């Protein structure tokens, strides 16, 4: 049994009835906010909404959607939520943030990823407003398109990579190479997992995390 298959095995040791196990379902109740975050992303970060905000210069609605998403996202720590709130408190970053977010979500590549991270670093001179953190960068991707994208919580993802023997080229500053490697790691697990078959990446990653 390889390391990836072992995850399914170890998950079932903890939750014998798989995703219908009572303990798993009880655990899931603690994360009911996930559905609200997904709804916020679908309704508030659609391409037409972002394009209208950029065209008009009125980005207040998008900014509020992002604030609400981050406040409800379980993978974002209290410290990171505060940093994001303080970051958005600098009004001059709000339009660049929305432009970079649009490109990240709808023209996703190495350049748009790096640009988004760079925009989140605009207030790094203020130690309380440095929003360029992995959970903040990736929550917008993961909740806008959970079939394609992943969310990265550093401590957990490093433990998972070590368990699987994967080199994710981790660096504290979010970067495209690490993001791609984590996405590939999740995809490899999903491809061979009976538990994760048909699930989005949010559930797939939860299965992986609960197995380690």
pLDDT at 157: 97
pLDDT value of residue 31: 79
Asked if residue 103 lies in contact with residue 115, where contact means CB atoms within 8 angstroms, the answer is yes
**Are 25 and 44 members of one domain?**
no
On whether both 61 and 134 belong to a single domain, the answer is yes
The length of the chain is 212
Which of 117, 144, 171 is the endpoint of a domain? 144
Are 64 and 135 contained in the same domain?
A: yes
Cα→Cα distances 155→75, 114, 135, 188, Å: 11, 22, 11, 20
In angstroms, what CA-CA distances link 183 with 1, 24, 161, 186, 199?
Answer: 22, 24, 11, 5, 15
* Residue at which a domain ends, from 100, 128, 144: 144
Domains in the chain: how many in total? 2
User: What would the two tokens of residue 191 be?
Assistant: 């491809």
In the prediction, which pLDDT does 170 show? Answer: 97
Q: Which of 125, 144, 163 is the last residue of a domain?
A: 144
CA angle 85, 89, 94 (to 5 degrees): 100
CA proximity to 69, closest of 108, 101, 100:
101
Cα separation, 152 vs 142, whole angstroms: 9
Structure tokens at 203: 């559930």
Which of residues 99 and 126 earns the better pLDDT score? 99
Q: 19 and 108: one domain?
A: no
- Residues 42 and 99 occupy one common structural domain: yes
Rounded Cα distance between 40 and 140, Å, is: 10
- pLDDT digit string (tens) for 133-153? 999 999 999 999 999 999 999
pLDDT at residue 32 greater than cutoff 90:
no
122 and 153 in one domain? no
Whether 153 and 139 share a structural domain: no
Q: Same structural domain for residues 54 and 138?
A: yes
Q: What's the pTM value of the predicted model, to 2 decimals?
A: 0.94
- Same domain, yes or no, for 48 and 116? yes
Does 42 share its domain with 10? Answer: no
- Per residue in 145-203, pLDDT (tens digit) is 999 999 999 999 999 999 999 999 999 999 999 999 999 999 999 999 999 999 999 99
In this structure, are 67 and 133 located in the same domain? yes
Q: Which domain holds residue 75?
A: 34-144
41 plus 65 within the same structural domain: yes
């Amino acid at each position: 049994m390889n390391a990836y298959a072992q995850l399914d095995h170890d998950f079932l040791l903890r939750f014998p009835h798989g995703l219908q196990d009572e303990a798993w379902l009880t655990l899931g109740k603690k994360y009911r906010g996930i559905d609200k975050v997904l709804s916020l992303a679908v309704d508030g970060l659609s391409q037409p909404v972002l394009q209208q905000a950029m065209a008009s210069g009125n980005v207040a609605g998008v900014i509020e959607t992002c604030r609400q998403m981050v406040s409800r996202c379980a993978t974002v720590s209290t410290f990171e939520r505060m940093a994001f709130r303080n970051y958005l408190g600098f009004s001059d970053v709000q339009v660049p943030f929305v432009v970079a977010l649009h490109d990240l979500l709808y023209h996703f590549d190495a350049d748009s990823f790096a640009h988004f991270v760079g925009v989140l670093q605009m207030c790094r001179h203020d130690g309380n407003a440095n929003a360029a953190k992995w959970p903040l960068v990736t929550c917008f991707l993961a909740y806008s398109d959970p079939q394609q994208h992943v969310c990265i919580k550093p401590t957990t993802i490093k433990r998972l990579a070590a368990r699987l023997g994967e080199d994710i080229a981790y660096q504290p500053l979010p970067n495209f190479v690490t993001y791609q490697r984590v996405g590939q790691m999740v995809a490899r697990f999903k491809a061979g997992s009976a538990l994760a078959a048909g699930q989005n990446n949010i559930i797939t990653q939860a299965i992986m995390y609960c197995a380690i």
